[in-house]
Each structure stands twice: as C-alpha cells, then as structure tokens.
Structure 1
Amino acid sequence: MFMGQYYHNIDIKGRLIIPSKFREELGHQFIITRGLDQCLFGYSLEEWILIEDKLKTLPLTKKDARAFTRFFFSGASECELDKQGRINIPMQLTSYAKLERECVILGVSNRIEIWSKSQWEDYFTESADTFAELAENMVDFDF
C-alpha cells in the first residue's frame, strides 16, 4: 500500500526522483498515466494489469467509456527507475500535470500520484475545507 506525501523537483530533462518508500512496491518498471484532477497516476505492473482488466469490461457502445479509456491509455507510459531512483516523465504528461519544478508525490492506496506543487496546494486547500463533508457523504464509510 502506498501512503505519505513527498516533495521532489523535476529537472529540465523531465526526471523525477521517486521516494525510496515507493520504489519497492512499484518495482523497477511501472506505468504512469494521466490521472484525474490534473495529476499523474503511477501503478505497479501488477496493479496496471488489474486496472486494464476492469477497463476492458466497459461497454464499447458507451461514449463515456470509450472516451475515458482513450484518455487513460493514450497517456500511459512505462517508466524505468535509473540508478538514482529517478524516472523520465514524457513531455505530454509533464504538460498535462503542469509539472515545472516542484512536485509532490503522494501515496494513495494502490497508486502514487504526481502533482505540481502549486496544483496540489490549490487542490488540498479546496478539499481540506470539505473533508468532513466528503466523508459524511460517502456510503458505508466508517472509521
């Protein structure tokens, strides 16, 4: 399981250090793709296969299903950790997530998320105010 929040800088070549706590779970090679809320999602190869299997069950006849799978899979890229624990993020993904320098890497259960620091701060500020309300509105969510 992934959890926690880490800050790292992306360099001019699009390389970003993946926190050491996440590397073992992700494996030497893993998948990153466009996520929701203008961040990137990162999945281990094993988790990616599970997600792919779920998305294959979406009906091809549904416009939203086709659009989502196109968006999700067309942005997918296999990453490989270098000796310093960095990955090279493709330009189309850095553009999508507005990654310029300061990044935040989050552990979110079965995936990591990569955010622009400013995007994350904006999202966190907006969401923090409604955290209790979100929890209350979720079905069968109990601590």
Structure 2
Amino acid sequence: MVNFTGKYFNSIDAKGRAIIPARFREELARAYDDDRLVVTEGDGGLDCYPVPQWKEIVARIDALEPGQFKDDLYMTTVSPAIECSFDRQGRIQLTPALREHAGLVGETREFVAIGVSNKIRIMTRQQHADQRAQAQERLRQNPQARYNLGL
C-alpha cells in the first residue's frame, strides 16, 4: 500500500509537463515497482493514483448497479483519466483538458503537489490556499475531534 505525504511547489513547463516530486516517485516505486500514474479530474484540481489502485477503483465503479450515480462517476472521474509514465526528469505529460480543469492554463503554471494518503493531488497555489483555509475553519469548529486523535 502506498502512503503519499508532503507538500511541494512546482510548475508546468510550456509543453504541459509537470514534475512529480522525487519523494512521491520513490514511494510509488517502493510500493508498486512501477513508474506510472493515472491522472484524473478531482475536486479543485487533479488526482493522481498508482495504476494498481486505479484499476481497483474502476472495478468497484464497474460493479455498481447501472444508474445515474455510476454514469456520473464515469463522466467526472473515469472518462477524463489518462495513464502517465515519468520521463527521465520525473515529469508526466498532462493533457490540455486536465490542465484546464485544474486551472493550470495561461499564466497560471505554478502548482502544489500534496500527498493525500493513496493519491497525489495537484492544484494551483490559490486553490490549495483556499481549500486549506476552508479545512482549517472546519477543524476549528470541532476541536474535540482533533484532541481525540492526539492532534
């Protein structure tokens, strides 16, 4: 099982390639002996999964009963997904559609890559700041839950 942690600042080059931090690449190789990720649209950015985990996710979605929920998951998560391999510099090629979804177009090329347990999330610095502020506010509203976790 993989456990991505950490926060890293980087940028996308003119060709749409994003450097994935070495620490994340090392964790991927350690856990799966693989150098591929599946990148898909996520909430406020892109979510990157190890290929074996992605296959399990898709299998669980495929096992759902036919209906709107399953169709929605395909429309928003499965269909936009692409498999990416790392080049020699540790970069993955993001499609224009994925870059647009994440807001990484035009002059906005800087991003934050954060480890979120089983996946890597890529988002603009502003998206990260906004989501982090919202999370901090929600946590402030329930300090006992953090205390119970020893935080």
TM-score higher than 0.5: yes
Structure 1 counterpart of 2:95: 90
2:19 aligned to 11, 17, 21, which one?
A: 17
Q: Residues 60-71 of structure 1: matches in 2 within 5 Å?
A: 60-61=66-67, 63-71=68-76
Q: Does 1:131 align with 2:139?
A: yes
CA distance in 2, matches of 1:33, 1:135: 33
Aligned-partner Cα distance in 2 for 1:28–1:115: 21
> In 2, distance between residues paired with 1:126 and 1:29?
32
Tell me the secondary structure at the aligned position of residue 59 of structure 2: helix
Q: Select the residue among 23, 33, 44 that pairs with 2:40.
A: 33
1:51 paired to 2:53: no
Q: Match of 1:72, as an amino acid?
A: T
Count of equivalent residues: 139
SS at match of 1:79: strand
Could you state the TM-score of these two structures normalised by the residue count of structure 2?
0.83
Compute the displacement of 1:102 (Å): 1.0
Structure 2 CA distance for aligned equivalents of residues 133 and 13 of structure 1 = 43
Unpaired runs of 5+ residues, structure 2, are: 29-33
Q: Once the two structures are aligned, what percentage of the paired residues are identical?
A: 33
Q: CA RMSD in A?
A: 2.0
Cα distance 1:135–1:115, how it changes in 2: closer, same or farther (>3 A)?
farther
TM superposition score normalised by structure 1:
0.87
Query: Which stretches of structure 1, 4 residues or longer, exceed 3 Å deviation after superposition?
Result: 132-137
| Distance in 1 between residues matched to 2:123 and 2:143, nearest whole Å | 23
Q: What are the ranges of 5 or more consecutive residues in structure 1 without an aligned counterpart?
A: none
Distance 2:144 2:65 in 1: 32
1:65 CA displacement: 2.2
